[in-house]
Structure 1
Amino acid sequence: MEPNTAEAETAGDAPSPKISARDVSVYYGEKKAIDNVSIDVFTRYVTAFIGPSGCGKSTFLRTLNRMNDTISSARVDGEILLDGEDIYRSKMDVVQLRARVGMVFQKPNPFPKSIYENIAYGPRIHGISSTKSELDGIVEQSLQRAGLWNEVKDRLNDSGTALSGGQQQRLCIARAIAVDPEVILMDEPCSALDPIATARIEELIDELRGRYAIVIVTHSMQQAARVSQRTAFFHMGNLVEYGKTSDIFTNPREERTKDYITGRYG
């Protein structure tokens, strides 16, 4: 099955996909949660996954860095390629994969450590930094990119859990980018945040997209319209439609997409 890719990826100016999923199905025991999904994800685009609760968008997101491996009943069929390499092959280093494909969760989950150690932990265990000054530089750069440096630079030894909810989420984004990933997955990163913190995270996503491939699951169609260049609509475990965000919201090809966008169900 060919992927339901955005029409902008036409011959001649099509970027190479960072992630290519082909015929991916996900099972929890006997229950099929994702049915035969094919999609390409591109660097420098934010790709939004939208759809009703329980439609499979978070489940599919978790296949992209093998987070479903942590669920004993989960099984993934099909093929997911990262730069042409099958991430489900038996010799894949899953720890290294999750450094390359970072994840930010719905609820901010800073480690019960200092702000500094939250950021330094990944580079240290992955051997990215060899000296204290190098590590200091990574911490500062990551906090700068996450738009948090000016707010915390004088209290790096304070606990990360003492920050506000929005600051904690930006700390988690800084932690994800500290190991120099290529892809950032975000599972409803603003659902626990107030509107001001949400706006700051959305600005940050826009700033980061030039550097990474970003995939965001969101229940907010307004958020998808604001932050993404590509949108995938999921319904009952199926990828119904995938294309340019502007097209999905103004001229969807599928009736089910139109019904969801206009609020007829969901």
Structure 2
Amino acid sequence: MATIVGIITQPLPLGAVAIMGLCTAVLTKTLTYAAAFSAFGDQIPWLVALAFFFAKGFIKTGLGTRIAYHVVSLAGSSSLGLGYSLVLSEALLAPAIPSVSARAGGIILPLVKSLSEACGSNVGDGTESKLGSWLTLTCFQTSVISSAMFLTAMAANPLCGTLARGAIGRGIGWSDWAVAAAVPGAVSLVVVPLILYVIYPPGVKNSPDAPRVARDKLQLMGPMTLNENIMAATLFLTFGDSNSSNCDRRHSQGASQQICIFLPTHPTLQIRSLTHFSAPWRCTSIKL
């Protein structure tokens, strides 16, 4: 109970509270040493930590932004199509970026702002309802859906998988989660923008400038850099074998391998920057 109160009130960082609670449980013999530290052999917490590192590289290289602009350039000529292109972009990024704030706030929101301004919808001048408000609301509502579709789309999802193992005696792997969520998730991603389009319609129905802006941004970004190619290769390494019957182990091994390959070759992701990146360590300590 004290650990739960400490996590809520945060007199210390979450990781410190979790470790102190674990040590107290061992000292008071509430848990045996083997039981207390058994989670360190569980692949799920480490998969979450590695996914956070993956997300950091994904954003820093600009690969996520490039993918989103490519999708917008192909399907963004109408307001509804633009909304779907942003929804699809966010869903494509979800398996690799386990933080909805990083995906929606770090990648999608800047795109929404840029594309809305290109279509004459600006914040604070009374033109928000032309396009920007609907795009923002659509991306906000659907980001929750994409976060629920993949085991690594949100930090809390692996914890749900671990709790399910204790309740039903069977773990929920990455492929199990993705297959089970595919149909309801896809239907929701299709239906929710339509519902919002009806009950909260944008003032502008066409957005011919959006694809042009996306193509201009891609041209400004230039060809894929070495870092983006490395990121794409590690993405394939980690998630490319998801149909394997040993998917979870492959995903954990692939994530570990991609970190080992990525660290020495990427100038912006070094050991020191990852050790100072608090989010994955905080989430891992809580889960352990």
Q: What is the TM-score normalised by the length of structure 1?
A: 0.25
In our comparison, the structure showing a higher alpha carbon Rg is 2
Which structure's residues are more often strand, by fraction? 1
Q: What is the TM-score normalised by the length of structure 2?
A: 0.24
